Amino acid sequence: MKQDAYPMHRAPRCSAKSKRTGLPCRSPAVRGWAVCRMHGAGGGANPGKAHPNYQHGERSRESAAIRAFVNALAREGRDTSQRLTDD
């Protein structure tokens, strides 16, 4: 019997490597992923409010972007007032 007689034999392989031996994982990769089910394909929780442990959103990406913008405005205001008082 030939090695690739079945479609499962022609499936792309997992791209994960062993830390100990350096050999690649030989399991078939999950469709749409580069790794097999053992190495994290389809894993992970939903982001934001859909996450089961979501509490308040204080550290969300959107809040971080708003804080960064406000800090940049405050910094610009301080620099401007400093330049005006130095003259």
Quick: pLDDT tens for 35-84: 999 998 888 888 878 888 888 878 888 999 999 999 999 999 999 999 99
Please tell me the distance from the alpha carbon of residue 67 to that of residue 60, in angstroms, as a whole number: 11
Is residue 3 classed as helix, strand or coil in its secondary structure? coil
**CA pair distance 15, 26, nearest whole angstrom:** 9
* Domain extents in the chain: 1-44, 46-87
CA angle 67, 72, 73 (to 5 degrees): 100
Residue tagged 């913008």 (tokens): 69
Please state the pTM of the whole predicted model: 0.47
Can you give the pLDDT at residue 71?
97
Please return the burial class of 36, using the count of CB atoms within 10 Å of its CB with bins 0-12, 13-18 and 19+.
buried
